[in-house]
Amino acid sequence: MLIPHLAFQFTSPGPILIELGPIAIRWYGLLIASAVLIGVTLSQYLAKRRNVDPELLGDLAIWLVVGAIPCARLYYVAFQWENYADNPASAIAIWKGGIAIHGAIIGGIIAALIFAKINKISFWQLADLVAPSLILGQAIGRWGNFFNSEAFGAPTDLPWKLYIPPQNRPPGLIEYEYFHPTFLYESLWNLLVFGLLMTLFFRGLKGKPKLKLGTIFLVYLAAYSGGRIWIEGLRTDSLMLGPVRIAQLVSLGGIILGVAGLSWLYLFKRSLPDVVSASERQSGDRADSKTP
């Protein structure tokens, strides 16, 4: 019996979805907007399941967008400054691509810490509710790299491969047409992590021992970083600090922090430090859980 040969060749139709005169709607922007909308809806649903005011998560989403997107762009531009030095104004052209998820995570954490302090709610409670939405958003957002023909891997002849037009190929690799679709690898990995986080979330709602605050976010941090560290090794356009790939270095830190935090919770049986005390959380009007 003949076994069919499966081959998947990905070819981007281009970065622009629709052009209406001088207005261009780009795939990248559409995917980011979709990820935010889906993420807010999901986090509000999860908040209801944990008896937390869903409007709180809607407000937090605004803080996260304001904190994450500028930091994601700033992080990227800082390590690619030579490409923007002659035209600094182009550094704000985020719709053309060029954002770093690690920068977004850092900016989002800072925004969430401030938000938690103001609203007298545990940062870790918010982080656990947002983590599944975050990894799902990352899975969606990676397809923006596909449409922009960027963030791809080394040349490959595997049955699954990504065609890159000549103008987007790195110097020294112009003669190669097909490259590893690392956007796809990371998107699929993120979907697996999303499934794991959702399983953990609903585990506590099925009569099993309740997970400690911070568990879901720490698992996200370690699991996402674990996938990113090997996928990044395939890429041709990594942000570099000398001979070191920045994303791999930061991912290694994410794994260490995630494992250390989980060990603190379950081996040492201690609570994670928070920006608000237990007494402050009890006095917060909006942080109070809704009555089931």
- The long-range contacts involving 187-192, CB below 8 angstroms and separated by at least 24 positions, are 187/139, 187/140, 187/142, 187/143, 188/139, 189/224, 189/227, 189/228, 189/231, 190/135, 190/136, 190/138, 190/139, 190/142, 190/224, 190/227, 191/136, 191/139, 192/227
Query: Dihedral of the CA atoms 147, 153, 243, 227 (nearest 10)?
Result: 90
| Rounded CA separation 292/281 (Å) | 19
- The pLDDT of residue 242 is 87
Cβ neighbours, 10 Å, residue 128 = 26
Collapsed DSSP state (helix, strand, coil) of residue 244 = strand
Q: What residue ranges of the chain have pLDDT lower than 70?
A: 1-7, 94-97, 204-208, 279, 281-292
Query: Nearest to residue 108, comparing CAs of 116, 120, 118, 119?
Result: 116
Q: What is the pLDDT of residue 79?
A: 86
The total number of residues written for the chain in this structure: 292
- The SS3 assignment for 205 reads coil
- Tens-digit pLDDT profile for residues 253-269: 999 999 999 999 999 99
Could you give the C-alpha distances from 126 to 215, 255, 283, in angstroms and in order?
A: 12, 20, 17
* Exposure b/e, 58-91, CB count within 10 A at least 16 = b: eebbebbbebbbbbbbebbbebbeeebeeeeeeb
User: Residue 267 has what DSSP assignment?
Assistant: T
pLDDT in tens, 89-100: 777 776 666 788
Rounded to 5°, angle at Cα 44 from 28 and 212? 110
13 vs 33: CA distance, rounded Å: 20
Kindly report the pTM of this predicted structure: 0.89
